């Protein structure tokens, strides 16, 4: 049996009478690069947000490392999962640097509070020692933080000179790179990406695709990646899910999807890609 | 006009400086409170939709005219700075609450979801995302609200608070236009100056590098500690200063004679005792407001008139005359624990006057003499005279008068109207400064129609006990101010535009009540 990092068991979600996801069962392998494709409104984002509990399912359960997410501390759970939201959504009032270090800063802040709380429970001597410890810890954290940020900038291909800029001073492609760096900066084991490469030109898109592929290879992180572009889904995914109206039409490796479409919907979706590959479509 | 203004500022620079400081104190404390409370409420409303009624409530409060709001608070907060600060704070809430709410609600929900999805707690979302993003809205509210509050503070003197409104109010009630203009100009300068400063702050706090610097300054704990220490020690000093000296609080109403009397009491006590004196003059709410202040112990004493005490303070019916003085005083003691001292001597009652020419033409000496000729004459008075109990209707009934016509006039226009021959018979009060040197003749009240209004100090009995040195000093005024004196002093203020304080001082020196300096 393979090692599953995420499992959906009989998950159902509806809004009022409108059933979005009737009954979802999916296993996602550790270290996988899973792309999800499907028509607009079919429930991709809903599925993704159930993993970090931005949306709670009506029925069924979702497991991460075998544990029901609904029983985990929601804040810790979310901080351990990178999230690149649909539309990028950088924080407009924070610089590139502050955007990227947002989650590490949150973690550092809470650590410090917890540590301070602990030390108030101690006697004086211990307290002084602990305070010193805290200062040292903070110092080393500041140093590593700087290195970490630079590392992520390198990985997503951003120039250091952009660090002090605000989001409105960036191009679309730069924003998306910052968004990815922000999602990665706390070194999560799972990365959820909701159409991260929308609204950029083909060349930038190609570069971003290559970068995310490299990141995946380097870090053995598990990536779940939503896209509208079948070409992107097949190029990036180790596995691909084709979704329609909240149900999985096909779940397999790219070649399988392309060569053995399970439903007419998948076949239709793949036709265009085949055309391109076989050179029949010149209007592109 | 500009020359007058300049002279006024130069000669009274100390007076104006004090008013400016008071004005800033009142408005800035109110602004600070409104910011803190308004931010809190705005956040509560936007975080918990079930608290939306707060928004509706502050909206409703905002529609209450400011004067009315000051008035409503008198029974609760009394008169003076506290009331003003409460009213101004409440007034400033709406812009704060509304803009905080709008600022937070108009944030792209995607941004908040991103923050939530990355593992921020609700608190972190609020303070790291929502409030900073709502800051431009909040800052513009602070700016507008501050300017509004500085302007509104000008009205606060209506309920006995200090500030530049005092100058305006005094100007209006003593018919001194220059003073009104001076007060207004200073308020405008303050408002514009503050607006200018806040515009700068607004720019700094807008997104960008300067904002970061600004907030890193705010995070500087030493700096904040230093500012707090300065504020606290200033407060402690003021509190200490107030507690070491006993302070007598004097109130006076908002017309010339009362300003002068207030200053006479103030200077006499200051000169002859060790007590501090705090004079709140020009309380336009008048008798009822001041009485409220006495009941709450905010004021110790004020100059009043026997007839007013009888009719307005104690709501007695029937006409008062001086033979009832002891009865009146006993009633004040038993019902209000207040007491009247011996009257000053002058009588400020209503009277009927006619120009000398008219008096001679019809040979008029008493009001009864008018009966035969009233049909050819026009009667003029302030509009409230026509509705008052001891007013026009009773007067004409008692004396059987039928005038050709009547005319409602503002106090300040009455004498002009007489001069221009628009009215022939006019209702006046006996100490009116404009009577002094005018050619009006007062007709004798031969049927004793007008009640008696002798000027007298009313003081809380408790204050007399608490400040034992007070009574002998106040008694020095007994019978010392004649009607002629009072009329002349009113004339000096109203017509010669002298400062009531100077007029009071000259009077005290001239009567040998204080040593001249
Ligand atoms: N809060 C909500 N209340 C009601 N309906 C909702 C809500 N959120 C989403 N939906 C509906 O659920 C369906 C699935 O939405 P979802 O966002 O998962 O679609 P999607 O596959 O991500 O689409 P897209 O590719 O356009 O992003 C849509 O029909 C949407 O209208
Ligand atoms: Mg979506």
The secondary structure of residue A239, as a DSSP letter, is E
Q: What integer pLDDT is reported at residue A131 of this predicted model?
A: 76
Residue B163's region, left for phi above 0, alpha for psi from -120 to 50, else beta, is left
By Cβ distance, the residue of A85, A91, A183 closest to B113 is: A85
Pocket test of ligand 1: the residue of A20, A225, A244 to mutate, having most ligand atoms within 8 Å of its CB, is: A20
Q: How far apart are CA A250 and CA A38, in angstroms?
A: 11
Q: Which ligand does the CA of A37 lie closest to? A: 1
Contact criterion met (CB < 8 Å) for A78 and B116: yes
Residue A92 burial (10 A CB sphere; 0-12, 13-18, 19+) = middle
Contact criterion met (CB < 8 Å) for B117 and A76: no
Band of pLDDT at residue A236, cut at 50, 70 and 90: very high
Bridge partners (DSSP) listed for residue A251: A241
Contact at 8 Å (CB) between A35 and A22?
no
pLDDT tens by residue, A65-110 = 999 999 999 999 999 999 999 888 999 999 999 999 999 999 888 8
CB-based contact (8 Å) between A78 and chain B? yes
| Owner of token pair 């409530």 | B57
Has this prediction a pTM greater than 0.90? no
Assign B304 to helix, strand or coil.
strand
Interval B231-250 mean pLDDT: 74
Which strands make up the sheet holding A4-15, listed edge to edge?
A18-29, A4-15, A59-64, A67-68
Bridge partners (DSSP) listed for residue B429: B350
Q: What integer pLDDT is reported at residue A121 of this predicted model?
A: 66
Q: Which two tokens stand for residue B100?
A: 């905080």
Contact at 8 Å (CB) between A30 and A3?
yes
By Cβ distance, the residue of B110, B118, B212 closest to A102 is: B118
Contact at 8 Å (CB) between A176 and A88?
yes
pLDDT tens by residue, B293-317 = 888 888 999 999 998 899 888 888 8
The closest of B136, B103, B216 to A98, measured between CA atoms, is B216
- How far does Cα B416 stand from its chain's mean position? 27
Q: How far apart are CA B185 and CA B9, in angstroms?
A: 11
- How far does Cα A208 stand from its chain's mean position? 14
- Whole-angstrom CA distances from B106 to B103, B133, B136 are 6, 9, 12
CB-based contact (8 Å) between A103 and chain B? yes
Lowest mean pLDDT among A114-123, A215-224, B56-65: A114-123
CB-based contact (8 Å) between A97 and chain B? no
Are β-strands B350-355 and B425-429 bridged in parallel, bridged antiparallel, or unpaired? antiparallel
Q: What percentage of residues in chain B have a pLDDT greater than 70? A: 94
Contacts of residue A157, Cβ cutoff 8 Å, sequence gap at least 6: A177, A207, A211
Q: Please name the residue whose Cα sits nearest to atom 8 of ligand 1.
A: A46
Q: Name which of A93, A183, A187, A195 to mutate to probe chain B: the one with the most chain B Cβ atoms within 10 A of its Cβ.
A: A93
Q: Which two tokens stand for residue B315?
A: 């709501």
- Whole-angstrom CA distances from B59 to A184, B54, B56, B62, B93 are 46, 8, 5, 5, 9
Band of pLDDT at residue B78, cut at 50, 70 and 90: confident
Q: What percentage of residues in chain A have a pLDDT greater than 70? A: 93
Interval B101-122 mean pLDDT: 94
Q: What integer pLDDT is reported at residue A94 of this predicted model?
A: 92
Q: Which atom of ligand 1 is nearest to the CA of A48?
A: 18
Q: Please name the residue whose Cα sits nearest to atom 31 of ligand 1.
A: A41
Nearest-CA distance B142 → chain A (Å):
20
pLDDT of A198 > 70? The answer is yes
Band of pLDDT at residue B176, cut at 50, 70 and 90: confident
Query: Mean pLDDT across chain A, nearest whole number?
Result: 88
User: What DSSP element (H or E) covers A119?
Assistant: helix A102-120
Band of pLDDT at residue B211, cut at 50, 70 and 90: low
Q: Which atom of ligand 1 is nearest to the CA of A42?
A: 21
Residues of A within 8 A of B135 (CB-CB) are 93
Q: Name which of A89, A189, A224 to mutate to probe chain B: the one with the most chain B Cβ atoms within 10 A of its Cβ.
A: A89
Q: How far apart are CA A55 and CA B243, in angstroms?
A: 62
Q: How far apart are CA B54 and CA B45, in angstroms?
A: 7
Lowest mean pLDDT among A242-256, B72-86, B191-205: B72-86
The secondary structure of residue B452, as a DSSP letter, is P
Contact criterion met (CB < 8 Å) for A79 and B118: yes
What is the ipTM score, two decimals?
Answer: 0.90
Q: What integer pLDDT is reported at residue B209 of this predicted model?
A: 59
Name the maximum alpha-carbon separation found in chain A.
79
Q: How far apart are CA B184 and CA B165, in angstroms?
A: 8
Lowest mean pLDDT among A237-241, B181-185, B409-413, B481-485: B409-413
Q: How far apart are CA B472 and CA B268, in angstroms?
A: 11
Q: What integer pLDDT is reported at residue A281 of this predicted model?
A: 46
Q: How far apart are CA A114 and CA A108, in angstroms?
A: 10
Q: Which atom of ligand 1 is nearest to the CA of A46?
A: 18
Q: Please name the residue whose Cα sits nearest to atom 30 of ligand 1.
A: A41
């Amino acid at each position: 049996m393979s090692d599953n990092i995420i499992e959906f068991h009989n998950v159902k979600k509806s809004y009022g009478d409108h059933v979005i996801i009737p009954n979802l069962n999916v296993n996602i392998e550790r270290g996988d690069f899973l792309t999800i494709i499907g028509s607009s409104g079919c429930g991709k984002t809903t599925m993704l947000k159930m993993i970090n509990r931005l949306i709670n399912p009506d029925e069924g359960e979702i497991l991460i490392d075998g544990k029901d997410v609904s029983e985990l501390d929601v804040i810790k759970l979310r901080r351990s999962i990178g999230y690149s939201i649909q539309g990028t959504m950088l924080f407009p009032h924070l610089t590139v640097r502050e955007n990227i270090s947002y989650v590490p800063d949150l973690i550092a802040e809470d650590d410090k509070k917890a540590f301070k709380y602990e030390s108030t429970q101690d006697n004086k001597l211990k307290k002084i020692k602990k305070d010193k410890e805290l200062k040292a810890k903070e110092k080393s954290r500041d140093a590593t933080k700087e290195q970490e940020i630079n590392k992520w900038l390198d990985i997503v291909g951003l120039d250091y000179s952009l660090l002090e800029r605000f989001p409105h001073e960036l191009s679309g492609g730069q924003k998306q790179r910052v968004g990815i760096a922000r999602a990665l900066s706390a070194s999560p084991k799972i990365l959820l990406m909701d159409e991260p490469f929308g609204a950029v030109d083909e060349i930038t898109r190609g570069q971003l695709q290559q970068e995310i592929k490299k990141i995946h290879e380097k870090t053995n992180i598990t990536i779940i990646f939503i896209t509208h572009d079948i070409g992107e889904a097949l190029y990036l995914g180790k596995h691909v899910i084709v979704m329609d109206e909240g149900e999985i039409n096909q779940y397999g490796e790219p070649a399988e999807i392309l060569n053995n479409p399970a439903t007419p919907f998948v076949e239709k979706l793949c036709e265009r890609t085949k055309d391109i590959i076989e050179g029949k479509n010149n209007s592109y | 006009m500009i020359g007058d203004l300049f002279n006024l500022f130069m000669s009274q620079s100390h007076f104006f400086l004090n008013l400016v400081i008071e004005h800033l104190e009142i408005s800035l404390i109110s602004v600070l409170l409104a910011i803190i409370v308004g931010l809190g409420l705005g956040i509560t409303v936007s975080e918990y939709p079930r608290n939306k009624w707060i928004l509706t409530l502050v909206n409703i409060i905002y529609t209450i005219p400011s004067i009315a709001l000051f008035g409503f608070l008198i029974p609760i907060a009394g008169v003076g700075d506290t009331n003003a600060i409460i009213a101004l704070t409440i007034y400033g809430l709406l812009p704060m609450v509304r803009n905080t709410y709008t600022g937070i609600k108009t944030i792209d929900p995607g941004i908040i979801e991103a923050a939530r999805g990355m593992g921020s707690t609700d608190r972190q979302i609020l303070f790291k995302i929502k409030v900073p993003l709502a800051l431009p809205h909040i800052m513009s509210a602070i700016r507008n609200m501050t300017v509004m509050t500085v302007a509104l503070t000008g009205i606060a003197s209506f309920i006995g608070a200090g500030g530049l409104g005092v100058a305006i109010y005094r100007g209006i009630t003593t018919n001194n236009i220059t003073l009104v203009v001076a007060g207004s100009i200073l308020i405008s300068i303050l408002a514009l100056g503050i607006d200018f400063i806040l515009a700068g702050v607004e720019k700094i706090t807008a997104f960008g590098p300067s904002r970061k610097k600004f907030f890193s300054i705010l995070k500087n704990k030493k700096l904040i500690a230093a500012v707090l220490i300065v504020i606290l020690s200033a407060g402690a000093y003021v509190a200490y200063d107030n507690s070491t000296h006993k302070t007598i609080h004097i109130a006076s109403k908002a017309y010339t004679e009362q300003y002068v009397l207030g200053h006479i009491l103030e200077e006499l006590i200051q000169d002859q005792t060790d007590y501090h004196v705090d004079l709140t003059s020009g309380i336009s709410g008048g008798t009822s407001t001041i009485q409220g202040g006495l009941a709450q112990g905010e004021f110790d004493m004020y100059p009043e008139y026997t007839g007013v005490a009888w009719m307005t303070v104690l709501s007695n019916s029937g006409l008062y005359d001086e033979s009832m003085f002891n009865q009146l005083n006993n009633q004040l003691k038993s019902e209000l624990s207040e007491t009247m001292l011996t009257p000053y001597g002058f009588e400020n009652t209503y009277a009927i006057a006619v120009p000398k020419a008219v008096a001679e033409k019809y040979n008029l000496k008493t009001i009864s003499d008018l009966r035969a000729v009233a049909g050819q004459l026009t009667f003029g008075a302030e509009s409230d005279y026509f509705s008052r109990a001891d007013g026009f209707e009773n007067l004409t009934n008692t004396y059987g008068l039928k005038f050709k016509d009547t005319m409602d006039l503002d106090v300040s226009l009455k004498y002009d109207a007489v001069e221009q021959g628009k009215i022939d018979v006019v209702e006046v009060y006996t100490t009116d400064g404009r009577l002094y040197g005018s050619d009006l003749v007062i007709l004798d009240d031969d049927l004793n129609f007008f009640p008696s209004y002798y000027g007298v100090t009313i003081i809380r009995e408790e204050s007399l006990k608490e400040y034992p040195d007070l009574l002998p000093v106040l008694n020095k005024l007994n019978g010392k101010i004649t009607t002629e004196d009072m009329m002349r002093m009113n004339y000096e203020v109203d017509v010669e535009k002298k400062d009531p304080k100077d007029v009071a001082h000259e009077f005290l020196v001239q009567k040998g009540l204080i040593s001249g300096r």
